[in-house]
Structure 1
Amino acid sequence: MINLREAGHSEKAKEPYQLSFLETIFDIEAIREELGFERWGFAGHSTGGMLGIIYGIYFSNSLNFNVIVGAAAREYMTFSKDCIYNPKHSEFTRMQELNETLKRLDIHSKRRIELKVERTKLSLFDPEKYDELFSENISKGMSAIRMDFFSRELQVYDVTKKLEFISTPTLILCGRYDVQCPVKYSIEMEEGIPNSKLVIFEKSNHYPFLEEAEQFTKEYNLFIKKHQSLLS
């Protein structure tokens, strides 16, 4: 698990460009080298999945495998009414309100938790299962400065024409009803990445690894087992 600059206890960004996708990939490569791994595997969800795509484009030689969950290879809001960040989506306004409010530092901790729960429920296939799905003692926060930089960079994000440069085996996983990165963008990635496999989860939104955990784990383990045997 890697906390990027401005997240967790990681180093801060000394320059704004250090929050960009490309610079972040350089940071990840530096971590790999420092740990002494010749090659390793990458798994990323949502914006982390987008990082995995760029990592695969530029550093496939550093990867044994790549797992991309609920992501996209290009800006996914403007041309998709199924995306919750598109103004035509029924929950667009509320999601914007939640994101902006959660960036504030003066929100009481109890109220912050309530808002986080509400925001997460907007990305679940069955919101009523929130307590069941998020029962583990796991803490997840949002880096406001990274979110703001990402929101700007996303406007010009499009690496679809470079997907062919990803040579590492790639597993693409997505919920059929993903409202953040709609499933059509995962289909597009499978078509563009040569050695890739797409699995769509029919009862999932943005969190298939929780919403259909058993099937997700099965698909992931099959993929890892297959490519570990090819490497041995």
Structure 2
Amino acid sequence: MWEQHLIETSRGTFEVFVKGSGTPLCITHNYSSFNTSGDYFANTFIENHRVFLVNLRECGNSPKVKHSYQLGLLETVFDLEAIREGLGFEKWSYAGHSTGGILGIIYGIYFSESLNFEIIVGAAARDYMTFSKNCIYNNEHPHFEKMQNLFKSLKNKNLSVDIRNELKIERTKLSLYSPNKYEDYFSLNIAKDMSASRLNFFDREIQLFDVTRKLKFISAPTLIICGKYDVQCPVEYSIEMNELISTSKLVIMDESNHYPFLEEKERFLKEYRTFLDEITI
């Protein structure tokens, strides 16, 4: 189990779950709410780092918002910086998957001096839905309607626990290269919730999101990893980020969709450890 800590900062008291040993590594997701059961992505790094899994505002026992803008990406990065300072670290590193990766991009743009390195997995530096037919949230994607229907069904508050879990599994399988391996990938007793308020705010913010022209400001060593068949943040957005970040390295996972750290776990670990060997902390 992960250890729960409440970290006092200049911006409030945040709930953080801690596990592992080594240099400090921050991990979060823009609208997931974590608990002591941890997180599959975060588990990837506990052998090499002391991982700090952060509940953002409106998640778990972290602060509630007083103003809606506090749910924004930049404000969230300000919160992460306050948590780093509250923990007493001059520097730490950051790893993020999906919208957690998007937060990492913002973090690197504005606070590279606070980061030893970044790992960005299955993310994008701009709206990834409107212009890519490879994105499952684009209405021209062949599985768009199926995904939308699943989201609609999951909003039904009267669903039984079993049916809700079945729908969540079906939704996740749409983002796997080999859906039949779902039980192998997600075999641990890990459960997390979702902050509806954070998700709703993000759904609006992403429509105007584009920081590609600011990627040149990222100076921290950055490992970008993406599944070749990622249907959520298609691989072209990782290629774009790599072209615009001078300190980045790109790895494309040939047999992965949106979860390369599970779908090709051994290769993911190898690439990540190679990256650590290549940089100086």
TM-score (structure 2 length as normaliser) = 0.79
Q: 1:174 aligns with which of 223, 226, 244?
A: 226
Distance 2:199 2:86 in 1: 27
Distance 1:13 1:100 in 2: 26
Opposite residue 83 of structure 2, the aligned amino acid is I
Unaligned runs of 5+ in 1: none
Does residue 50 of structure 1 match 2:102? yes
**Aligned residue in 1 for 2:56:** 4
Unaligned runs of 5+ in 2: 1-52
**Aligned residue in 2 for 1:144:** 196
Opposite residue 203 of structure 2, the aligned amino acid is S
Opposite residue 199 of structure 1, the aligned amino acid is V
**Aligned residue in 1 for 2:205:** 153
Greater strand content: 2
Cα distance per residue 1:18-47 (max 9 Å; x no partner): 110011001111100000000000000000
Does residue 88 of structure 1 match 2:144? no
Opposite residue 201 of structure 1, the aligned amino acid is M
Opposite residue 65 of structure 1, the aligned amino acid is F
5 Å-filtered alignment, 1:32-47, equals: 32-47=84-99
Cα distance per residue 1:61-85 (max 9 Å; x no partner): 1000010000000001111111000
Q: 1:70 aligns with which of 122, 131, 137?
A: 122
Q: 2:236 aligns with which of 167, 170, 184?
A: 184
For residue 175 of structure 2, give the secondary structure of its aligned residue in structure 1: coil
Distance 1:30 1:160 in 2: 25
Greater helix content: 1
For residue 173 of structure 1, give the secondary structure of its aligned residue in structure 2: strand
- Tell me whether 91-100 or 56-65 shows the greater mean CA deviation: 91-100
Does residue 120 of structure 1 match 2:172? yes
How many residue pairs match? The answer is 229
Does residue 209 of structure 1 match 2:261? yes
Opposite residue 239 of structure 2, the aligned amino acid is I
- Quote how far apart the aligned CAs of 1:108 are: 1.9
Change (3 A) 1:78 1:10: same
For residue 200 of structure 2, give the secondary structure of its aligned residue in structure 1: helix
Distance 1:175 1:39 in 2: 29
Q: 1:19 aligns with which of 71, 76, 79?
A: 71
- Contact 1:75-1:157 within 8 A present in 2 as well: yes
RMSD of Structure 2 on Structure 1 (CA) = 1.1
For residue 41 of structure 1, give the secondary structure of its aligned residue in structure 2: strand
TM-score (structure 1 length as normaliser) = 0.95
Identity of aligned residues (%): 64
Question: Which structure's relative contact order is higher, taking Cα pairs within 8 Å and 6+ residues apart?
Answer: 1
Opposite residue 195 of structure 2, the aligned amino acid is S
- Contact 1:103-1:144 within 8 A present in 2 as well: no
- Contact 1:83-1:89 within 8 A present in 2 as well: yes
- Contact 1:177-1:205 within 8 A present in 2 as well: yes
